[in-house]
């Protein structure tokens, strides 16, 4: 496995607007360690999603560089965006199918993963029958099945109720550990990023710069016990402070 | 679902009741059977005409015109609809012509078509295709434009090729629209085929209906009308069944009361 970090250098993005070019990312610098769970937090519309789309290769960096050192990415979008005409199993296989026809082994792997994510009874279900939480699990499975080195997640939990969100947090941490993934999560939920991440980048409002870079060495699971919860609150406090100043 | 559907039985009973009432009115002399015929007279006409002869040959001619026109309509409608749906420039450029042609009752073009192509199957197919293409064209365009752009983005994020995107995302997404366009086009293409035969043809069911009428053979005229109606209804039901079969993935649409 390559250990070179993911590097964002002097990334600058602006969009045309009625009052001249609107600067979204202002010479952003980021170094994201491989194998880390890194979250990016910032005010709405600060260009987090733009950054993620550039990392995913869906948008070209107009100025500056993004160096992934050949790492394969897969993206989990905010909305589950399942293909309504494919069953749960075939939706989970869609990411793979975009690159090559899925084999019997792929189907077995997909079935096993969906089973693990609690969707064993819904392999042949149509997406319209799923709850939001279940659909988001299929979304996650679809990204994991392409065996990415880097998992890019754009506020994937924001539409979920607290219970499904927490269950999915733990599933994600489990996959992160077992699959040796690098996770880059964009979120605006302080508790969520404090619970999940080992690195947190705090971004400012437009034009976006990095205002704080916080390393966390709290043991998991972080919601268990008073001591850990207090540590979690302290991180959230620091994040809130950084966001206010940014 | 099918066996327990009471609506089906109500419809069937209504048809039978209508036939009985029609027969009764004609028999009692409340209406003149020479002018409005009667179910028994239509059946007699069918019996007398069903020798393998002119009527069957004419039915075959109309069916061929209808079939070829429906295939051409689907090709033109889907092709042009997809082109317009994917290109804003093309849509801008072509929409005045499409709106204009769509607003025009296509029947008025028949004399021109005959002038250009002469009397014969080519003219009939042209009118029927012209009429059949529009519903498919407009519904295909609507289908392409209502595709969820996030689905395309999703495919691209997984590195799908253009061909893969069309095959796995665009086509299945547009299929429901194309099928409902075809369902409408079935009756339009048949109307086109028949009208072409009314106006300028020496063959086909439409021609034969005019022939019967000019000989005041109302029973045979009704026989043709009922036959065409039954055939088009059958085709429509077939496409609807195909839609249900292919589109199992769609959430059930709540039925409005009385439908």
pLDDT in tens, chain A (246 residues): 457 899 999 998 888 888 888 888 888 889 999 999 999 998 877 788 889 989 998 888 888 899 998 889 999 988 889 999 999 999 999 999 998 899 999 999 999 999 988 899 999 999 999 998 899 999 999 999 999 999 999 999 888 888 888 888 998 999 899 988 999 999 988 999 999 999 999 988 878 888 889 998 888 888 888 888 888 899 999 999 988 887
pLDDT above 70 for B3:
no
- Helix (H), strand (E), coil (C) string for chain A: CCCCCEEEEEEEEEEEECCEEEEEEEEEEEEECCCCEEEEECCCCCCHHHHHHHHCCCCCCCEEEEECCCCCEEEECCCCCCCCCCCHHHHHCHHHHCCCCCCHHHHHHHHHHHHHCCCHHHCCCCHHHCCHHHHHHHHHHHHHCCCCCEEEEECCCCCCCHHHHHHHHHHHHHHHHHCCCEEEEEECCHHHHHHHCCEEEEECCCCECEEEEEECCCCCCCCCCHHHHHHHHHHHHHHHHHHHHC
Q: Which residues of B touch A56 (CB under 8 A)?
A: 157
Residue with tokens 């994510």: A117
Q: Tokens 């550990």 label which residue? A: A177
Give the global pTM. 0.79
With a pLDDT cut of 70, the percent of chain B lying above it is 95
Inter-chain CB proximity A83 and B172 less than 8 Å: yes
**Average pLDDT over chain B, rounded to an integer:** 90
Q: Please give the interface size between A and B, counted as residue pairs whose CB atoms are below 8 Å apart.
A: 53
Would you call A158 exposed, middle or buried from its count of C-beta atoms within 10 A (0-12, 13-18, 19+)?
middle
pLDDT in tens, B170-189: 999 999 999 999 999 999 99
**pLDDT at position B1:** 44
Any idea how long chain B is? Answer: 259
pLDDT per residue as tens digits for the range B44-89 = 888 887 666 788 899 999 999 999 999 999 999 999 999 999 898 9
pLDDT at B258 over 60: no
> What's the pLDDT at A159?
81
From B256's Cα to the closest Cα of chain A, the distance in A is: 20
Of A168, A170, A199, A204, give the one whose Cα is nearest residue A185: A199
- Interface subset of A 172-211, CB within 8 angstroms of B: none
CA dihedral of B217, B220, B224, B225, whole degrees rounded to 10: 60
Put simply, whether B225 touches A (Cβ < 8 Å) is no
CA B226 to chain centre: 15
Query: Is B160 part of the contact surface with chain A (CB cutoff 8 Å)?
Result: yes
| Residues B42, B219 contacting (CB under 8 angstroms) | yes
Query: With an 8 Å Cβ cutoff, is A56 touching chain B?
Result: yes
Angle of the B171-199 helix axis to the B54-86 helix axis, nearest 10 = 140
Query: A15 or B20: whose pLDDT is higher?
Result: B20
B28 contacts chain A (CB < 8 A): no
* Cβ-contact B31, B211 below 8 angstroms: no
Question: Is the Cβ of B253 closer than 8 Å to some Cβ of chain A?
Answer: no
pLDDT for position A15:
84
Q: Residue A126 and residue B137: Cα distance in Å, rounded?
A: 29
> For testing the chain A interface, which of B158, B166, B172, B243 should be mutated: the one with the most A CBs within 10 Å?
B158
Q: Which residues from A are below 8 Å from B250, CB to CB?
A: 84, 128
Residue with tokens 């600067």: A23
Confidence of residue B21 (pLDDT cuts 50, 70, 90): very high
H, E, C per residue of chain B: CCCCCHHHHHHHHHHHHHHHHHHHHHHCCCCCHHHHCCHHHHHHHHHHHCCCCHHHHHHHHHHHHHHHHHHHHHHHHHHHHHHHHHCHHHHHHHHHHHHHHHHCCHHHHHHHHHHHHCCCHHHHHHHHHHHHHHHHHHHHHHHHHCCCHHHHHHHHHCCCCHHHHHHHHHHHHHHHHHHHHHHHHHHHHHHHHHHHHHHCCCCCHHHHHHHHHHCCCHHHHHHHHHHHHHHHHHHHHHHHHHHHHHCCCCCCCCCCCCC
Residue B163 — very low, low, confident or very high, per pLDDT cuts 50/70/90?
Answer: very high
The candidate with the shortest Cα–Cα distance to B208, out of B195, B193, B197, is B197
């Amino acid at each position: 496995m390559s250990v070179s970090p993911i590097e964002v250098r002097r990334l600058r993005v602006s969009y045309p607007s009625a009052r001249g070019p609107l600067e979204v990312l202002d010479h952003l610098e980021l170094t994201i360690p491989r194998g880390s769970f890194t979250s990016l937090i910032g005010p709405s519309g600060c260009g987090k999603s733009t950054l993620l789309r550039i990392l995913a290769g869906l948008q070209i960096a107009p100025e500056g560089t993004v160096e992934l050192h050949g790492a394969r990415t897969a993206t989990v979008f905010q909305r589950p965006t399942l293909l309504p005409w494919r069953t749960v199993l075939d939706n989970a296989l869609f990411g793979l199918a975009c690159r090559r026809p899925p084999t019997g082994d792929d189907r077995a792997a997909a079935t096993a993963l969906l089973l693990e994510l609690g969707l064993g009874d819904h392999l042949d279900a149509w997406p319209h029958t799923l709850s939001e939480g279940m659909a988001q699990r299929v979304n996650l499975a679809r990204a994991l099945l392409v065996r990415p080195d880097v998992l890019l997640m754009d506020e994937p939990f924001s539409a979920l109720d607290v219970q499904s969100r927490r269950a999915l947090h733990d599933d994600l941490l489990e996959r992160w550990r077992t699959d040796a993934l690098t996770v880059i999560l964009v979120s605006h939920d302080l508790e969520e990023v404090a619970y999940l991440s080992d690195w947190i980048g705090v971004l400012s409002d437009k034009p976006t710069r990095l205002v704080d870079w916080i390393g966390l060495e709290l043991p998991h699971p972080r919601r268990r016990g008073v001591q850990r919860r207090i540590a979690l609150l302290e991180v959230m406090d620091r994040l809130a402070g950084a966001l206010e100043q940014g | 679902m099918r066996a327990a559907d009471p609506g089906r039985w109500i419809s069937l009973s209504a048809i039978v009741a209508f036939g009985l009432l029609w027969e009764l009115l004609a028999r009692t002399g409340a209406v003149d059977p020479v002018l409005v015929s009667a179910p028994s007279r239509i059946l007699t006409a069918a019996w007398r005409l069903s020798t393998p002869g002119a009527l069957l040959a004419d039915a075959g001619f109309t069916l061929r015109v209808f079939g070829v026109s429906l295939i051409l309509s689907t090709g033109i409608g889907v092709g042009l609809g997809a082109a317009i749906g994917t290109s804003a420039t093309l849509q801008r450029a072509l929409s005045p012509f499409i709106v204009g042609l769509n607003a025009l009752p296509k029947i008025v073009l028949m004399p021109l078509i005959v002038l250009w192509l002469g009397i014969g199957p080519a003219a009939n197919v042209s009118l029927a295709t012209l009429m059949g293409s529009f519903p498919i064209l407009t519904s295909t365009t609507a289908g392409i434009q209502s595709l969820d752009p996030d689905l395309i983005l999703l495919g691209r994020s997984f590195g799908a090729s253009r061909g893969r995107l069309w095959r796995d995302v665009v086509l299945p997404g547009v299929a429901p629209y194309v099928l409902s366009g075809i369902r409408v086009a079935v009756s339009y293409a048949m109307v086109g085929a028949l009208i072409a035969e009314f106006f300028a043809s020496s063959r086909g069911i439409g021609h034969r209906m005019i022939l019967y009428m000019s000989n005041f053979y109302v029973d045979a005229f009704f026989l043709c009308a009922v036959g065409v109606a039954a055939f088009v209804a059958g085709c429509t039901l077939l496409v609807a069944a195909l839609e249900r079969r292919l589109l199992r993935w769609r959430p059930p649409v709540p039925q409005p009361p009385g439908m």
